[in-house]
Amino acid sequence: MLFKALKKNKERDIDLENLPKHIGVIMDGNGRWAKKRGLPRSAGHKAGAESLKKIVTEANNLGVKYITVYAFSTENWKRPKAEVDYLMDLLMDYLINAEKTLAGENVRIRAIGSRKELSEEMRKQIKKTEELTKDRSGIVMNIALNYGGREELVHSAKKIAEAVRNGKMAPEDITEKEIEDGLYTAGQPDVDLLIRTSGEQRLSNFMLWQVSYAEMVFVHKLWPDFKPKDLIECIKIYQGRGRRFGGI
């Protein structure tokens, strides 16, 4: 009996020495969560934002160094204007309150994605939040906002082309490093663990370069139902996988 209990406890544990350094999250299913409850989609996004706070706190407490969350894709502009406006308001609130809500937790906040399509107000707030949190030593939280993996690669290619045009670089000098340096996540490690909720099994243009060797975990729960214990489960699944990076 005792042995069984001990074993069970051990099974529940995660190996803190073998944590994913960078976790990517596709927070899917807010709309379905709301629909199931007869609520407007906005209620699902609000609940999703609450869920996110708990997950970032848990990841930070565990010692994960980077988390990137897909908050608004370059394709999400196609949604009804009221929903887009609501998501933008939610993101704005999140950035404004980041100082208060995540202050004790030492979270460094960054936004990744194309900024020129965002409102002036949002661009200013992003700068402010990034500046206010830049010296923190805890987890780095990248909020993917007006983000698309293809757009990011185009952005990187343009930077390289510009350097070549200015004679600062020759085409032969272009390596993976130059492409990486032009990504919004330059200087950060690749994604080790990618989690997508709601049962969908797609990348949806998320971090196409950075997930090249990521372990992918697809969870049936809808994002607002995803709890810190589910994050632990995903990390355990990750730790149970044999990563070979193309080797044997």
Residue 29 interacts with ligand FPP (CB under 6 A)? yes
Contacts of 148 (CB under 8 A, 6+ apart): 73, 74, 75, 113, 114, 205
Residue 25 interacts with ligand FPP (CB under 6 A)? no
Residue 58 interacts with ligand FPP (CB under 6 A)? no
Q: Please say if 28 is a catalytic residue.
A: yes
Q: Please say if 225 is a catalytic residue.
A: no
- Which of 14, 65, 76, 178 lies at the binding interface for ligand FPP (CB under 6 A)? 76
Q: What are phi and psi of 120, to 5 degrees?
A: -55, -40
For ligand FPP, give the closer residue by CB, 76 or 239: 76
Instruction: Tell me how far, at minimum, the Cβ of 31 lies from ligand FPP, in Å.
Output: 2
- Closest by CA to 72, choosing from 46, 91, 56, is 91
Catalytic residue among 76, 93, 190, 225: 76
State the first-to-last Cα distance of the chain, in angstroms, to the nearest integer. Answer: 39
> In the range 127-166, which residues lie near ligand FPP by CB under 6 A?
143
CA dihedral 117, 119, 125, 131 (to 10 degrees): 30
Catalytic residue among 15, 18, 28, 192: 28
Stretch that binds ligand FPP, among 22-30, 108-116, 148-156, 233-241 (CB under 6 A): 22-30
Q: Please say whether the beta carbons of 140 and 65 come within 8 A.
A: yes
Residue type, 129: T
Q: What are phi and psi of 73, to 5 degrees?
A: -90, 165
- Which of 32, 65, 155, 236 lies at the binding interface for ligand FPP (CB under 6 A)? 32
The set of catalytic residues is 28, 76
Binding site for ligand FPP (CB under 6 A): 27-32, 45, 48-49, 52, 69, 71, 76, 90-91, 94, 143, 223
